[in-house]
Amino acid sequence: MDNKNLAELLFPDIDKTPDDYERMYPERDLPAGAMVTRLGPSPTGFMHLGNLYGAFADERLAHQSDGIFYLRIEDTDDKRYVEGAVEVIISSLEFFGIRFDEGATMGDDKGSYGDYTQSRRGPVYQCFVKKLVEEGKAYPCFLTEEEIGAIREKQEAEKLMPGIYGEYAACRDWTYEQVKEAIDTGKPYVIRLKSDGKPLSEGEDGKQKGRRVRVNDAIRGKLEMPENFMDVVILKKTGIPTYHFAHAVDDHLMRTTHVVRGAEWLPSLPIHVELFEKLGWELPVYCHTAQLMKIDEESGKKRKLSKRKDPELSLTYYRDQGYHPDAVREYLLTILNSNFEEWRDANPDAPVDDFAFTTEKMSSSGALFDLNKLNDISKDVLLRIPADDLYVFLKDWAAEFAPEYNHLFDDKDYLVQILDIGRADRKPRKDLIYARQIIQFISYFFDDLFKIEDEMPAEVPAADISVILNAYLDSYDHSDDNGGWFDKIRAIAVDNGYAAKPKDFKKHPDDYKGHVGHVSTVIRIALMGRAQSPDVWTIQQIMGEEKTRGRIRAYVDGLR
């Protein structure tokens, strides 16, 4: 009786009952086996690789099973809220091909299980807190920060687990009158769970004993951990719930079947088990993903990716560098599922969504992130994208992230030919990785970006450079085919004391200054500023006769 009155005293304005909400948000009408997953980012304005990693898993599980994937904004921690963060969340995930069926959007919510923003769900949470108070499973606690601090100090001094539980839970057994008096004097309070758990105690054998909870994690298998015994806060002074309580209420009412979240939530799992139990609800299937790790460049050891040290943790990094979303997706799948690469080898051209993603193949011990591997995968992925599409991708990227390059897109045919160099060969060239690197890689095709980057080969004496380049200009015929063109270079080499073939030079190094390769490097550097490049003849054909001659001439002029 007292509890009922207490609940009314605390929540006089809550008139809906839990049953009302159960009716408002009925079981979803989905095919058997369909999974309902959600992403619950906090709107801090920072989207990291872990968010995307989890989002991929959520998205695959839902969409592979004809289920629902929704976005819920978890803004119960108002200190962390950043203006415009929701837009950042949606747009950055959209870029990587993550689409939600339901939930928060840039405009109004979509779907009938909302509100999808936690700060707007106050009355829903309060309704269920009221129910717990009514049933004697939760209570108001008036302990001040100072009092809690003092309790902690005492516990620390006695080497006890810090927290509000058992004898430290001073308000746990307060009567209705005590609570009423405190409220009447205006004392602020939180609502705590009245835990049934018992702290671990030392058994006769000296070992810690206590009840344990068991959960079957879809990634980690059977988990067993000590039960919760803390009277954790479920509703803060502001009437806003803690993560724990919001998680239970939202995932129940929104009918989430699979909770994919980071391993940092594992320690609070016993709290969630007790909450679901006290609320009389079935647990969702938990999928605790691995931490993203990298090999530290300095120590060579595995460590967690850090916001401070690793720019690649932020999703903006990939947008800014101009990684193609397909490459990031493909790469993340290789770290998400251990059998993905094998599948890709067997199905090189299949759409990535044909891969059957499973939680069982997810690592539980730390997913190793490696930018070099991403780059390797990106090379393969870009090879499968037609040059026309790459052109559009790069153009859009430049418009957003590097407008100083916008003019490179004025002549589409020119750029498409450049992007296609060597890609149709039997052993295709894999030069292209991400937008910033691509622009740098092809920069010599554009006069305003062209610069001499490499040194002339040491085998060629300075006096020979203009001789070689002048001879090249004299013999140059833009209509020569690749073979005819190279024959002329060989002739220039021989005329000037260089071996026609590298192996001749190797055998008799004293007979020559160098070989034909050194001569063609002289031309390469004058033309492209680099000692390494794709096939020179092909490049000249794309550049056209005028630019080709112009570059050689300018180099010779510069020597004077």
Q: Are 38 and 71 in contact (CB under 8 A)?
A: yes
Q: How far apart are CA 538 and CA 419, in angstroms?
A: 12
Asked whether 446 and 408 are in contact (CB, 8 A), the reply is yes
Closest CB to ligand GLU among residues 42, 548: 42
Q: Is 42 in the site for ligand GLU (CB under 6 A)?
A: yes
Q: Can you say how many angstroms the Cα of residue 261 is from the centroid of all Cα atoms in its chain?
A: 13
Using CB under 6 A as the binding rule, whether residue 50 contacts ligand GLU is answered as no
Please, which residue, 48 or 130, has the CB nearer to ligand GLU?
A: 48
Determine which residue in the list 7, 35, 41, 98 makes contact with ligand GLU, applying CB under 6 A.
Answer: 41
Phi and psi based region of residue 186 (left: phi greater than 0; alpha: psi -120 to 50; beta: remaining):
left
Does 58 engage in binding with ligand GLU (CB under 6 A)? no
Number of residues near ligand GLU (by CB under 6 A):
7
Q: Beta strand 201-202 with 208-209: parallel, antiparallel or unpaired?
A: antiparallel
CA distance 219 to 258: 11
Q: To the nearest whole angstrom, how small is the minimum distance from the Cβ of residue 194 to ligand GLU?
A: 24
- Whether 96 and 58 have beta carbons less than 8 Å apart is answered as no
In whole angstroms, what is the distance from residue 68 CA to residue 390 CA? 32
* 385 within 8 A of 324, measured Cβ to Cβ: yes
- Residue with Cβ nearer ligand GLU (41 or 140): 41
- Considering the complex, what minimum distance in angstroms separates the CB of residue 331 from ligand GLU? 22
Report the nearest approach of ligand GLU to the CB of residue 256 (Å).
9
48 binds ligand GLU (CB under 6 A): no
Q: Tell me: cis bond preceding 2? Omega within 30 of 0 counts.
A: no
If the CB atoms of residues 89 and 543 are measured against ligand GLU, the closer one turns out to be 89
**Cα 390–392–396 angle (5° rounding)?**
115
By CB under 6 A, is residue 74 in contact with ligand GLU?
yes
Radius of gyration of the CA atoms of the chain, in A: 33
Closest distance to ligand GLU from the beta carbon of 355 (Å): 24
Site for ligand GLU in 496-515 (CB under 6 A): none
Q: Do residues 324 and 393 make contact, with C-beta atoms less than 8 angstroms apart? A: yes
Which span sits near ligand GLU by CB under 6 A: 36-44, 167-175, 324-332, 460-468? 36-44
Residue 525 near residue 554 (C-beta atoms within 8 A): no
| Residue (42 or 541) nearer to ligand GLU, CB | 42
Q: In the numeric block, which tokens belong to residue 342?
A: 């094998």
Residue among 356, 217, 225, 371 nearest 292 (CA)? 371
Kindly indicate which of the ranges 34-42, 436-444, 479-487, 522-530 contains the residues binding ligand GLU, using the contact rule CB under 6 A.
Answer: 34-42
411 backbone φψ class: left, alpha, beta (φ>0; ψ -120 to 50): beta
Judged by CB under 6 A, does residue 65 bind ligand GLU? no
Minimum Å distance from CB 258 to ligand GLU?
11
Please say which residue, 40 or 270, places its beta carbon nearer to ligand GLU: 40
**Nearest distance from residue 27's CB to ligand GLU, in Å?**
21
Q: How far is the CB of 24 from ligand GLU (least distance, A)?
A: 22
**Minimum distance, C-beta of residue 261 to ligand GLU, in the bound complex (Å):** 4
Task: Report which DSSP code applies to 300.
Answer: -
Residue closer to ligand GLU (CB basis): 246 or 525? 246
Nearer to ligand GLU, 259 or 377 (CB): 259
* Of 316, 310, 302, 311, nearest in space to 363 by CA: 302
As measured in angstroms, the least distance from the Cβ of 21 to ligand GLU is 20
Nearer to ligand GLU, 47 or 382 (CB): 47
Residue 290 or residue 522: which is nearer to ligand GLU going by CB? 290
Nearer to ligand GLU, 121 or 524 (CB): 121
Kindly state whether residue 40 participates in binding ligand GLU, applying the rule CB under 6 A: yes
Among 39-47, 94-102, 124-132, 461-469, which window interacts with ligand GLU (CB under 6 A)? 39-47
Q: How far apart are CA 180 and CA 9, in angstroms?
A: 8
Cα 262 from Cα 278, distance rounded (Å): 24
Residue 393 CA, chain-centre distance (Å), reads 20
Secondary structure of the chain: what % helix, strand, coil (to 5)? 50, 10, 40
Chain residues 230-289 in contact with ligand GLU, contact rule CB under 6 A: 247, 259, 261
Site for ligand GLU, rule CB under 6 A: 40-42, 74, 247, 259, 261
